[in-house]
Amino acid sequence: MNNISYDEILINMHLSKLIYYYKIFNIEPYKTIKYYYENTNITSDFDGFKDSLEFLYNNYPNIRLYQFISNLDTDTQVGIFLDDSTNNIYITFRGTESIIDICNDINIKQICIDDNNSVFVHEGFYKSFISVYPEILDTIILLSKVKDLNFFATGHSLGSVQTTLFSYLISDNKIINNKIIKLVTFGSPRLGNLTFKNTFEQKSNIIYYRIINHKDIVTSIPYINYYHVGKQYQLIDNDIIFVDDNDCTNFYFGSCCYSNSVDDHSIQNYINNFNGKQDIWESILKND
């Protein structure tokens, strides 16, 4: 199907939450969610960590962490999760957590990523992403030789722009044979210039739903010569609405798309505000 279902978004939300807590896991590749749930000593909830692990355990216990990639120089982490029953692969980037991440976030200089000197993206986001991309690519090449993979890419905050770059670059790679990439992100900043936006949105094999929670301020930055990509859906108290925030012209905090809340950026608040809205989301998909 050429959309992303309610359940698929929930899986990606909880994986995006889970990847933040890689430090409390005894990371063992090829182990399932069931294994981690039964062998991780959770002494407190860690801001919803236990809830996310329980959700995945109760609903998708056999999803396994196929590979965990970590670059200490850029402090970039990504989990590659695999569901052998469906051949779904979930590329999940961790969001902002450390001082290195913040330095990458505020490095808003743009860097060219194409041969025509026209596609420019946020330098800090790109440099952190590209430090792990070759290893991700190697893993996907190996897996694609033995499995007919269904691609999901996800992340929150910094992780959302890294996974957007992943989808953009791999979409033309012959190893995936032009297969559909289902990209869903949470709390994404803007990523690139207008040419990047136009080039991204011409790619027919990326389905991108960009979810924002209520007044999440991070989704409004950076602004000058930066553009969002994908279809944006905003979680509000009792509804989910489509928003085109590229129409915003007079930007200041609190004006553009009503984005003025730091608390709304929390991945846990994304989960809280999406839960229970299955009927609303399914209605959206019927008209999408």
The set of residues, in sequence order, having a beta carbon less than 8 Å from that of 82 and lying 6+ positions away, is 63, 64, 66, 88, 89, 90, 143
Q: Which pLDDT belongs to residue 250?
A: 34
- Give the torsion through C-alpha atoms of 134, 137, 138, 142, to 10 deg: 180
173 to 104, 265, 279: CA distances (angstroms): 27, 33, 36
Mean pLDDT of the chain: 89
Highest mean pLDDT among 171-175, 203-207, 249-253: 203-207
Place of tokens 């590229």: 246
Q: CA 155, CA 247: separation in Å to the nearest integer?
A: 25
Mean pLDDT of 86-94: 97
Q: What pTM was estimated for this model as a whole?
A: 0.93
CATH number among 3.40.190.180, 3.40.50.300, 3.40.50.1820, 3.30.870.10, domain 6-286: 3.40.50.1820
Task: Report the 3 state secondary structure along 97-144.
Answer: CCHHHHHHHHCCCEEECCCCCCCEEEHHHHHHHHCCHHHHHHHHHHHH
Of all residues in the chain, the percent with pLDDT exceeding 90 is: 72
At 245, the pLDDT band (50, 70, 90 cuts) reads low
Assign 207 to helix, strand or coil: strand
Tokens of residue 259, six digits = 């984005």
Q: Which pLDDT belongs to residue 214?
A: 92
Q: CA 92, CA 279: separation in Å to the nearest integer?
A: 26
